[in-house]
């Protein structure tokens, strides 16, 4: 959940800075507000720089980061293996960006072990039975397509970056 006082800090920071230069505190608050959403649009980048946007579940990870899980066989994981640069923004289940929201430049780190387990617990706590349904659907799809990939075996931690877009 977004820290208390974020809205006050964001409003104060916005009043003193040009609109194209959000403060680090504002970026962190905007990112943490994502943890209250059901979905976030994650934009990753192919090797040639082409953006690929995907809606993902999202949960808080500490005080200034958000996280989600994915499969090591997914396109997201493959793209994140060559560049950590991402853009995130609140969206609906179909990936339609929520009105009056701004994209956030960030980095995304693939994690395993204890960090992935923490993300798994938080996703299951937030999304509950939906996690079982999506796992079953993923397994059925893998059987039908004859292309099984692991379910949720990688965690991804998203951290905001200040100073605009990062190089690909």
Query: What are the sequence ranges of the domains in the chain?
Result: 6-160
Long-range contacts of the stretch 142-151 (C-beta < 8 A, 24+)? 149/71, 149/72, 149/73, 149/74, 150/71, 150/72, 150/73, 151/71
Whole-number Å distance between alpha carbons of 55 and 88: 9
First-residue to last-residue Cα distance in the chain:
30
pTM for this prediction: 0.77
Cα dihedral 86, 131, 112, 114, rounded to 10, equals 120
* Two structure tokens written together for 106: 């960030």
pLDDT of residue 14: 41
With beta carbons less than 8 A apart as the criterion, state whether 157 and 86 touch: no
Tell me what pLDDT residue 7 has: 47
pLDDT 10s digits, 95-112: 999 999 999 999 999 998
* Residue 149 per-residue DSSP state: -
Give the fold, CATH level 3, of 6-160. Pnp Oxidase; Chain A (2.30.110)
What's the pLDDT score for residue 21? 62
Token couple for 32: 């943490």
Beta sheet of 65-70, edge-to-edge order? 51-57, 39-45, 85-91, 104-111, 154-160, 65-70, 59-61
How wide is the angle at C-alpha 92 spanned by C-alphas 98 and 156, nearest 5°? 105
Between these two residues, 58 and 142, which has the higher pLDDT value?
Answer: 58
> For 37, which DSSP code?
S
């Amino acid at each position: 959940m977004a820290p208390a006082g974020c809205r006050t800090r964001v409003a104060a920071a916005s009043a003193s800075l040009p609109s194209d230069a959000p403060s680090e505190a504002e970026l962190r608050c905007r990112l943490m507000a994502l943890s209250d959403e059901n979905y976030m649009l994650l934009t990753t980048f192919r090797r040639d720089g082409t953006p690929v946007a995907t809606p993902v579940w999202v949960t808080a990870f500490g005080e200034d980061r958000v996280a989600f899980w994915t499969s090591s066989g997914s396109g997201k994981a493959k793209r994140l293996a060559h560049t950590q640069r991402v853009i995130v923004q609140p969206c609906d289940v179909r990936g339609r960006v929520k009105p009056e929201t701004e994209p956030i430049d960030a980095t995304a780190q693939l994690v395993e072990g204890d960090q992935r387990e923490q993300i798994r617990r938080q996703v299951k706590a937030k999304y509950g039975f939906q996690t079982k349904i999506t796992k079953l659907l993923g397994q059925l799809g893998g059987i039908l397509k004859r292309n099984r990939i692991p379910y949720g075996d990688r965690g991804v931690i998203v951290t905001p970056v200040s100073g605009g877009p990062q190089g690909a």
